[in-house]
Chains A and B, each alone.
Chain A
Amino acid sequence: MPYLYTTPEDQAAMLAAIGASSLDDLFAMVPPELRLNRPLNLPPALTELELTQHMAALAARNEHAGTKVCFLGGGSYDHFIPAAVDELAGRGEFYTSYTPYQAEVSQGNLQVVFEYQSLITRLTGLDVSNASLYDGGSAAAEGVLMAVSSTNRYGKVVVAASVHPEYRQTITTYLKDLGIEVVTVGTPTGVVRPQDLAAVVDDKTACIVVQQPNFFGCIEDAASLASIAHDAGALVVAAFDPISLGLLKRPGDWGADIAVAEGQSLGTPMQYGGPYLGIMACREKLIRRMPGRIAGETVDRRGRRCFVLTLQTREQHIRREKATSNVCTNQGLFALRATIYLALLGPQGLKETANLCLQKSHYCASLLCNGVPLAPPVPPRQHRQPQPPTTADSSLHTSGATGSASASLAASTTSTSHNSRFQLAFAAPTFKEFVLRDKQDRVDELLHQALDAGFLAGVPLGQWYPELNDCFLVAVTEKRTKSEIESLARSLD
């Protein structure tokens, strides 16, 4: 066997030291009638070469973001991952270690967690972060449990229909056996209308759960929603997209008390849905209710700064059934990746990434709804528009000359066709995703055609929202080029 290296001589010596006559004798404490007296029914062993070939053959039966241009979103995105993230997180000293129980030989991991927590609080505008939870969905559910226990309101929680449907399903699962009602606020306009929220939030409500930008890519009037909750004494649990915070107001700045997120966007590959990174941050006063591990700064016996796991009296290994959560193994490796990713991007990189997502998704939406450029396809390199040499700042936050120049450029390269097949399902402003309505109501067929043309064009929404059966969700990250977007528009036309 490839990972064993006890020689027959070693084995004999070891058995002798133990006082056992055979390997079988070592299992004497397993009652004979409970043993499996046949080989497991599994395929035979493969050598490294055979395994590699077998797995390559399986991998070859999958399409992926490298073989089809990916416009899929809905909580997992094809963002760019700088090479340094892979190289550093691929160091065995990181990925083959475990939870830093022994601080003296885990300062690397502990400092990373401390840096991660610091970055997350800066990103969210909240006071504290934990070391990670499983994923965005379970982090949302844990956030709700935290709100319930800290408000002591075991009556109900109010969740917007514009929150990721799988997060809502997860929340429902987590609450079902605790007798807490989950009330869903409909979002027919793609965002929560304040009056609809106000109608269901009351003094039995532990929290509201909203997502910003929401599952449809729309930007909610989050501050108004937060004040409705706060007026009723409820907390605000906010799911957010970390990339959006290059431009959008931070959850803590618009009133979120507990912010949760899927952190996959921050340097983790899509890998068919996991492992990802559950982010959670909250206000200081809620910290004793926070689930999961937390690192803190302290000093060693010689007074040197160091880091340890702290506030452990919240956790299962100390409090058992009274713990704030059962979480033990978390997603440390992806917290590391997020830390490296954010360190590489810095404030400017995050802002530019967010802006590219914003611009490209709007370009894509307008192309799909208003018309396709007249120009024939040109290889992307030659096609790239010369950019005015502006600093990112002037192009981002002012609506000066550059802006209007670009707008007229957009007008000149698109034909305005009035009978486009698509329209935006919602009028609300969007960030990097948008919902398209197919006027011909043939979404499945359409996405199938797009696939044949080389595109993973969108996520059909009917599976979660029957009323949006004629709609699909399109995500455009910084990776998508103008020519890819234009080819998509042509192939869908």
Chain B
Amino acid sequence: MRNTRDTKLLFELSEAGRRAHRLPACDVPERPVSELVPANMLAAEPPALPELSEPQVVRHFANLSQLNISVDTHFYPLGSCTMKYNPKRNERIARLPGFADLHPYQPESTIQGMLQMLYELQEYLQEISGLDACSLQPAAGAHGELTALWVAAAYFRDESLKTGGERRTKVLVPDSAHGTNPASASMAGFTTVTVKTLTSGALDMDDLARHLDDEVAVFMITNPNTVGIFEPNMREIADRIHQAGGLVYLDGANMNAILGIARPGDFGADMQHYNPHKTFSGPHGGGGPGAGPICVTEKLAPYLPTPVVVRVEGRESRVEGQKSNPTPSLALDPRPSTLDRYALDYARPQSIGRVRAFFGNVGVLLRAYCYIRTHGPDGLRRVSENAVLNANYLLSRVKHFLPVPQGDRCMHEFVASASKLKSDKGIAAMDIAKRLLDFGFHAPTVYFPLSVKEAIMIEPTETESKETLDAFAETLFNVVGEAPDVLHDAPHTTTISRPDDVRAARQPVLTYKSSNATA
């Protein structure tokens, strides 16, 4: 059934003179381009784009789409990525012209509905995190990390001015942390120091003690952590960091486990990011978009990027650019007074500035807003309960045939290890991942976290049924028992077999050239 004709590269399908999109004739008096554009800046001809018809383009991309596994079509237990169902209602709402066709520089008076939504989302995210202030500007989780670290750097810069002390230069990161954590720390100008974790997944408190000193600016912790457990010493860790004068950053990638159950602000975090594309169901788009809103404590609020959305209460007359201080509880009233106005607050002298152009990844934030409104307080809690139920159920079935070093219980995900299979039979985590594809399952995340050998990280999410989990567990059981050769050659039924990654990296071919092979 595979259509290999229409999935040739666009450039191979191209035929000189073909046209898809046509433009209207120019309805204003036309002037010669050479009069309007300096000759030395004028191109001799337009870029060599492919020339195609509209039906060709449609068939090409429709066929390409069918070469993907997606949440709409398959179980996608990619650990740490929270590949939950992406509600269709949110897609339709995001397409409303009253959201989709807003220019970012429209006057505030023309975008009151948008600003109200964004303002309320700030409030919801603060409430869910137990923190005091919010910036919706960062474009993804990693961008949120970076933004928060800049906030921390600015805070410590002011602190060292006040106290005359040295600036803090270190960021502590557990060895189980996501790669973005240390990468963000270096981009923000900090030195990363790795702290060990134990087999249970818990932080090694002795190692923490060894590294904790007055040079530590921030401790970045993922909780629930990347092994899928709630950090047993969370409170003590936070207390120790705070006693040493540092700040605690919470990587919120795993918020799906604790919505309405525990709040980072209550368990010691000073700052956190959310991944609304995970926790709040934003579709992952084949790689993105995401968003990375951050919440922080009051003392860090002045440093957040500009602008933030503020509510100006109806009775006060509005002063442009005035720093207003809205009362948080008001926003949670579903029907705010129609006299209230929403405004963008730029007058924030201590702010770190901007981390991108324009307001933020609003389309993703809008879907997060819809998701939160759809669930309400009880619904969000049930999301986490079911995410944790599903993960524990799968864990209870898998641990009998694939070791799970962390133990018998988990939060929203767990990490199995193929380490023993590797030494006994030469079966690697990657082999198992590839073989699962043959049975219509997306593979779990493999080789992350680095703290677990031959890691297989499984996150089912709450939007999967018991039947799916049972089918997956049975398949995994069968796969683990298969002959090593079958696994080494897997997958067998997909459109391609295993690609030659080494060749791709050694002789990089990164763009189409007409000499490319057309095998």
Contact = CB atoms under 8 A, between A and B. Distances in A.
Interface string A353-384: 11110111011000000000000000010011
Contact of B286 (A112, A129, A447): A112
Interface residues of B, number: 213
Interface in A201-258: 212, 219, 221-223, 245-250, 253-254
B114 interface: yes
Interface stretch (B136-144, B417-425, B478-486): B136-144
A448 B107 CA distance: 9
B254 interface: no
Interface stretch (B33-41, B203-211, B310-318): B33-41
Contacts of B445: 101
Interface string B183-196: 11111110010000
Given A44-B376, A45-B378, A343-B60, A26 B409 contact: yes
Contacts, number: 750
Contact of A55 (B93, B112, B153, B393): B93
Contacts of A97: 68-71, 76, 284-286
Instruction: From B186, B378, B395, name the one whose CB has the most chain A CB atoms within 10 angstroms.
Output: B186
Interface string A444-484: 00011001000010010000000000000000001001100
Given A4-B463, A45-B378, A132-B287, A26 B103 contact: no
A106 B31 contact: no
Contacts of A45: 373-376, 378-379
A406 B29 CA distance: 5
Contacts of A329: 140-142, 275, 277, 284, 287-290
Given A262-B357, A299-B503, A299-B519, A106 B383 contact: no
B337 interface: no
Contacts of A104: 434, 437, 491, 494-499
Interface string B504-519: 1100111110001111
A51 B376 contact: no
Contact of A41 (B62, B127, B503): B127
A399 B51 contact: no
Interface string B343-367: 0000000001111111111111000
Interface string A80-91: 001010111011
Contacts of A42: 124, 127-128, 332, 372, 376-377, 380
Given A55-B370, A56-B96, A115-B9, A320 B179 contact: yes
Contacts of B332: 41-43
A326 B380 contact: no
Interface stretch (B158-166, B242-250, B261-269, B293-301): B261-269
B183 A321 contact: yes
A396 B33 contact: yes
A283 interface: no
B148 interface: no
B179 A328 contact: yes
Nearest to A120: B511
Contacts of B319: none
B374 A46 contact: yes
Interface string B9-31: 11100000011111111111111
Interface string B436-464: 01000011010010000000000000110
Contact of A395 (B30, B86, B362): B30
Interface residues of A, number: 233
B70 A93 contact: yes
Nearest to A296: B504
Nearest to B516: A297
B68 A105 contact: yes
A98 B78 CA distance: 9
B97 A64 contact: yes
B49 A58 contact: no
A363 B62 CA distance: 40
B65 A93 contact: yes
B389 A11 contact: yes
B287 A347 contact: no
Contact of B62 (A91, A137, A294): A91
Contacts of A153: none
Interface string B381-411: 1110110111011011100000000001101
Contact of A299 (B153, B356, B499): B499
A170 interface: yes
B130 interface: yes
B356 A98 contact: no
A46 B93 CA distance: 14
A136 interface: yes
A166 interface: yes
B442 A105 contact: yes
Instruction: From A298, A356, A403, name the one whose CB has the most chain B CB atoms within 10 angstroms.
Output: A298
B20 A349 contact: yes
Contacts of B7: 111
A184 interface: no
B100 to A, nearest CB: 4
B182 A271 contact: no
Contacts of A253: 43
Interface stretch (A12-20, A192-200, A418-426): A12-20
Contact of B396 (A19, A78, A330): A19
Contacts of B179: 315-320, 323, 328
B433 interface: yes
B70 A94 contact: yes
A402 B291 CA distance: 49
Nearest to B128: A40
B145 A326 contact: yes
Given A177-B153, A250-B47, A273-B104, A102 B442 contact: yes
B474 interface: no
Interface string A291-304: 00111111111111
A96 B150 contact: no
Contacts of A105: 67-69, 437, 442, 491, 494
A448 B507 CA distance: 58
Contacts of B73: 92-93, 96
B254 to A, nearest CB: 12
A407 B392 CA distance: 75
A62 B114 contact: yes
Nearest to B289: A275
B72 A96 contact: yes
Contacts of B381: 39-40
B44 to A, nearest CB: 8
B114 A299 contact: no
Contacts of B518: 305
A26 to B, nearest CB: 5
A427 interface: no
A454 B396 CA distance: 63
Given A36-B266, A93-B72, A385 B140 contact: no
A40 B382 CA distance: 12
Given A45-B374, A87-B58, A326-B146, 8 more contacts: A272-B104, A274-B363, A296-B505, A301-B489, A310-B510, A315-B179, A323-B186, A403-B30
12 contacts: A18-B395, A64-B98, A76-B103, A88-B58, A98-B284, A117-B510, A177-B150, A247-B43, A275-B361, A305-B516, A329-B275, A346-B20
> Which 6 pairs of residues, A with B, have the shortest CB-CB distance?
A59-B98, A332-B287, A273-B358, A61-B113, A333-B285, A92-B72
